[in-house]
Amino acid sequence: MPDQTATSASARPGLTTLFHVFAKLGITSFGGGLSGWMMRECVQQRRWLSEDEFLAGLAMSQALPGVNVVNLPIWIGYRMAGSPGAVVSALGVIVPPMGIVMAMAATYGFLQRFEATHLALQGAAAAAIGLSLSMGLRSGYRHIRKLWPACMLAATFTGVGLLHFPMIEVLIAIAPISIALAYRDVRAARANG
C-alpha cells in the first residue's frame, strides 16, 4: 500500500507514467548521477515527493543491498503506486537503457579507435560527477543544521573516505547511533507540538 502521507502537490502518477519517467531517466543518464536527475524530475518538476522525502528514500536506497539507482526507483514507485509501481519503476529504469547499452556494445568495437569516443565518455563522466557532487552538497546542507547530523556525516566521511574502512562496517557502527538520535528528535518534536 503506498504511503498516503506523502507531501506531493500533484496527483499520484499511474503505472504508465512511472514507467515512462524512469525509462526517460535511465536512457538520458550517462556515467552516473542518476539520483540527481531523479530528484530534479520527481521532486522539483513533478512534485511527487518533498525534498525531505526524496532524501530519506535516497539514504535508505544507499543503505540497502543492491544498486542505488535501482533501489531508489523501487522506493519511489512503491510510494506512488504500491507494489505494482515498484515493479514498473524498476523495469523502466533497467530495461530500456539495457537495450541501448546492448546496441552500443555491439558497435563499440568499431568506435573505440576514435579519440572523439573517449572524449565524449570523459565529458559524460564529468557531468555525472558534478550531478553527484551537487546532490551530496544539497543533502549535506539540509541535514547538518544540527550538531549530531554533522557529526554523523563527518564520522562517515572520515571512516569511508579518509580511513578507507569498509562501508558496511562504518554503516553498522554509525547507523544505530544515527537512528537513535533521529528517533529522539522525532519524539521530542511530537512532545512539543
Residue 66 binned pLDDT confidence (cut-offs 50, 70, 90): confident
**pLDDT band at residue 30 using 50, 70 and 90 as cut-offs:** low
Please choose, from the candidates 111, 131, 133, the residue with its C-alpha nearest in 3D space to the C-alpha of residue 30: 131
To the nearest whole number, what is the mean pLDDT of the chain?
Answer: 86
**29 or 81: whose pLDDT is higher?**
81
Is residue 161 within 8 A of residue 64, CB to CB? The reply is: no
Q: For residue 121, give every residue at least 6 positions away whose Cβ sits within 8 Å of its Cβ, in sequence order, or none.
A: 31
pLDDT tens, residue by residue, 118-132:
888 888 788 878 877
Cell numbers describing residue 119: 572524449
- Residue whose C-alpha is closest to residue 60's, from 158, 141, 165, 178: 178
> 192 or 42, which is more confident?
42
pLDDT value at position 32?
63
Q: How far is Cα 17 from Cα 79, in angstroms, rounded to an integer?
A: 14
